[in-house]
């Protein structure tokens, strides 16, 4: 969808859509820390409400991007919100599952942060590739 809204040749479309997707990785990294702090300070119920709010923002930004259908700042915001929301929901879900079975939640958190860092790293690498 993003590549379709970018003006230019295929290489330019690929480059700018991959650079916008870097914010998905940044959102993935920040989302897990954000929701982890909310869970630690206020508990899982408040974190679920925060996740619903983030999900609403993500859906609204995506719908707005589809309606406008133009590559601009909203593409960057939409990608960030997708990553942020994905990470926050995954972290909160894994935290609840970890505590439900009376085991340590640390393995879930470590796995999630490595997933986020990997996503960010590989998006940066892919954005620099020359070719399809």
Structural domain boundaries, residue 66? 21-124
pLDDT band at 27 (very low <50, low <70, confident <90, very high): very high
pLDDT score at 81: 97
pLDDT score at 38: 95
Contacts of residue 46, defined as CB under 8 A and 6 or more positions apart, other chains included, come to 38
Tens-digit pLDDT profile for residues 33-87: 999 999 999 988 999 999 999 999 999 999 999 999 999 999 999 999 999 999 9
Whether 7 is in a domain gets the answer no
Whether 87 is in a domain gets the answer yes
What does DSSP assign to residue 98? H
The whole model's pTM is what?
A: 0.76
Measuring CA to CA, which residue among 97, 117, 119 is closest to residue 107?
97
- Displacement of CA 129 from its chain's centroid (Å): 22
Domain total in the chain: 1
Whether 111 is in a domain gets the answer yes
């Amino acid at each position: 969808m993003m590549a379709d809204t970018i003006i230019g040749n295929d290489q330019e479309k690929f480059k700018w859509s991959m650079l916008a997707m870097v914010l998905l990785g940044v959102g993935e990294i920040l989302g897990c820390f954000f929701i982890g702090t909310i869970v630690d300070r206020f508990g899982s119920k408040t974190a679920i409400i925060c996740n619903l709010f983030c999900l609403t923002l993500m859906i609204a930004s995506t719908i707005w991007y589809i309606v406008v259908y133009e590559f601009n700042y909203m593409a960057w915001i939409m990608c960030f919100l997708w990553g942020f929301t994905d990470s926050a929901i995954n972290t909160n879900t894994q935290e609840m599952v970890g505590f439900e079975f009376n085991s340590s939640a640390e393995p879930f958190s470590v796995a999630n942060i490595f997933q986020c860092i990997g996503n960010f790293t590989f998006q940066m690498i892919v954005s620099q590739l020359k070719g399809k």
